[in-house]
Structure 1
Amino acid sequence: MLLYVLDLAGVAVFAVSGALGAGHAGLDWLGMVVIASVTAVGGGTLRGVFTVRLVLRLPG
């Protein structure tokens, strides 16, 4: 459970860093949401790759 909470906190930190970067670039709210989402997903994916976890689980 602790690792799950830390995982969510890591994704939140990536999202906040993306939103702050978009805010400094002068983007509007939609741009902030897009950049924050891309940063959070990309950061979570890189974290999974670097920790050698299976990033994408395909059914079957």
Structure 2
Amino acid sequence: MPSPGKIGAATVKENVRRLMDELEALRLKAGGRAITISSGFRGIAHNRAAGGASS
């Protein structure tokens, strides 16, 4: 298993697709209202450049 932050592009793509499917199902159960995402994932280098959390 890869260490945290070292996930292959194909795995990321599949995980994002699955997340989108789940969020769409949730949105439909909520009457079609919009879902706002206020946080997300940054790669290690991007997080470091942005001054993000060290862990």
Q: TM-score, normalised by structure 2?
A: 0.50
| Structure 1 CA distance for aligned equivalents of residues 13 and 31 of structure 2 | 27
Q: How many aligned residue pairs are there?
A: 41
Which of these residues, 21, 24, 28, is aligned with residue 19 of structure 1? Answer: 24
Deviation for aligned residue 1:13: 0.9
Higher relative contact order (CA 8 A, sep 6+): 1
Q: TM-score, normalised by structure 1?
A: 0.47
RMSD: 2.8
1:2-54 CA distances to partner (integer Å, 9 max, x unpaired)? x21111110111111111101011125xx2xxx2x728x63xx2xx7xxxx61
Larger radius of gyration: 2
Gaps of 5+ in 1: none
Write out the 4+ residue segments of structure 1 that deviate beyond 4 Å after TM superposition: none
| Structure 2 CA distance for aligned equivalents of residues 38 and 20 of structure 1 | 15
